[in-house]
Amino acid sequence: MDQSLTSIFTANESEPEVSQSMRDIASLAGVLKDLGSQDAFQSPGEILRFLRIIQLINEEALGLDDPIENEETVFYRYQNRFTDEHPPSKKRVEQVIRILINNNWMSKQSKQLKMRDLGKRMMDMLIRLANDSLAYYKHDDIGRSLFQARRDAELSEAYDDKGISGGNKIASIIRNVENAIQLMKERELEMLADRNALPQLELIHGLMEDLDVKLKDRFRQFQTVEESLVLTNLMQKGTAVLAEGTNLSLGMINKFLKFTHMQETPLSSNIQPEKVRDFITKMFAPPLHSDVPNAHHLLSFMEQNQYEDEAIDGLWIPVKFAAPLSPIAIDEGIHYLETYEPIEAPMEEVEEEVVYSSEEISEDDVEELLNNANWLMMKEMIETEKIEKYIEEQEEAPMEQVVIEATSTKWSDAINAMTAISALVGNKKVAITKGEQGTKSPLYDRNWEWMNDADRSKVVSKRKNRKKTE
């Protein structure tokens, strides 16, 4: 640690080495892009087969296997090595190798396929990434955070100690341990209630102790005062976090062992109130190393049903009675509940007198109502609004003028207009009279003709309502 770490973030971007390293990343992106563009490589199974293929090529480059003459050699070597119900076809193997050649990971010679240095480094990185992910997912939620913290410590040893930046691994260790501690606090009751949680608790405690050693070893690498000042906050934070995590995991183990053997603890025949009171007081905030459980711990262990009918579905709620009740009062209360009969008031039914009324209507009014009903029914079948609106505005006009100006010059509209006029005449809404001789009607450009030319000049006028006389 006596020299500055090699980091892409502190290097001069104009250096040729930076450009070359970025080309390597672009090459990796190109391979992943070419694979992702194929629908077959979207499933996890196909990705695993791709990793197996590059593992075979990688072993040949390391001298662990015979040289690879062509794609067919990789195809048969895959079938002999791996147990796969759906192995890749020759076409698929050729496709993968072609992608690797196009991105300069491999070179195709006359009698052999050889891996380039770029391909070896990229393949190593992909295989290591897959193995790290597999090891990560084999742990539970807490174990994953602690595994990643230990992996960060190992990467720090592999990179930072060699003068290559590993990417703030010390801060990553501390953050992963903090996440694990938070999960431990949230799942403490669940673990204490699980009878098979002791191996998991021991594993968590072992990982905490291992990380404590590794993190202290990381801090020892910074010997000078200047470097230690830079990491003062991280050192203090890391020490506090690991101390809390170690104490928490050790306290959970002690509580688990204590509660497991609690039913074998001998009981004395006499009860000392002071000790009971002291025990209840400590239950509110027990120390980490204390064997005293809090109320949540006790209730979670009651769910294990170690005694018959102990684990009852529902929620444990403490109940405080206002005052003790005497046996006489209890008997009276039970008797009252058993013999209680509500007092019901008699129902009084009030009969309502039915009053009949008669209404008289004249014959003319009946006829008018029937006509209005017939007119409304007719309007539902025949569209008369346009003609009615036009006659309301003009009061009277020649029939051809009404037909065309109220609708249009089309033959279909003329038929509908004549039907509407007939309905209005039949219901005494309008009247049709002969036009005066010599009256000229306007000429319209239409593609239909009247059967009787005299009909075009007949006058359609609004009918006047007759006033009723008494």
Give the DSSP letter string of 322-379: SS---HHHHHHHHHHHHH-----PPP---PPPP--------HHHHHHHHHHHHHHHHH
What's residue 167's pLDDT? 59
What structural domains and CATH numbers belong to the chain? 16-134 (1.10.10.10), 142-262 (no CATH), 378-462 (no CATH)
Quick check: 246 and 209 in contact, CB under 8 A? yes
Q: Please count the other Cβ atoms lying within 10 Å of the Cβ belonging to residue 455.
A: 13
**Does residue 102 carry a pLDDT above 80?**
yes
Tokens for 361?
């209507």
Cα dihedral 188→192→194→195 (10° resolution): 150
**70-93 confidence digits (pLDDT tens):** 888 888 888 888 888 888 888 888
**Does residue 29 carry a pLDDT above 50?**
yes
Mean pLDDT of 243-265: 72
Quick check: 28 and 34 in contact, CB under 8 A? no
What's residue 224's pLDDT? 53
What's residue 470's pLDDT? 34
Instruction: Supply the pTM of this predicted model.
Output: 0.49
- Round to the nearest angstrom and report the end-to-end CA distance of the chain: 123
SS3 of residue 6 by DSSP = strand
At 446, is the pLDDT very low, low, confident or very high (cuts 50, 70, 90)?
confident
265 vs 255, residue with greater confidence: 255
Query: What type of residue is 207?
Result: L
What's residue 467's pLDDT? 44
**Does residue 466 carry a pLDDT above 60?**
no
Mean pLDDT of 150-170: 69
**Chain mean position to CA 263:** 45
**Does residue 314 carry a pLDDT above 70?**
no
What's residue 8's pLDDT? 66
402 vs 296, residue with greater confidence: 402
What's residue 469's pLDDT? 37
What's residue 176's pLDDT? 79
What's residue 225's pLDDT? 45
Mean pLDDT of 48-59: 85
**174-204 confidence digits (pLDDT tens):** 787 788 888 877 777 777 766 667 777 777 7
Tokens for 60?
């040949």
At 468, is the pLDDT very low, low, confident or very high (cuts 50, 70, 90)?
very low
The torsion angles phi and psi of 460, rounded to 5 degrees, stand at -105, 120
Whole-number Å distance between alpha carbons of 162 and 295: 52
Mean pLDDT of 272-301: 74
Tokens for 62?
């390391």
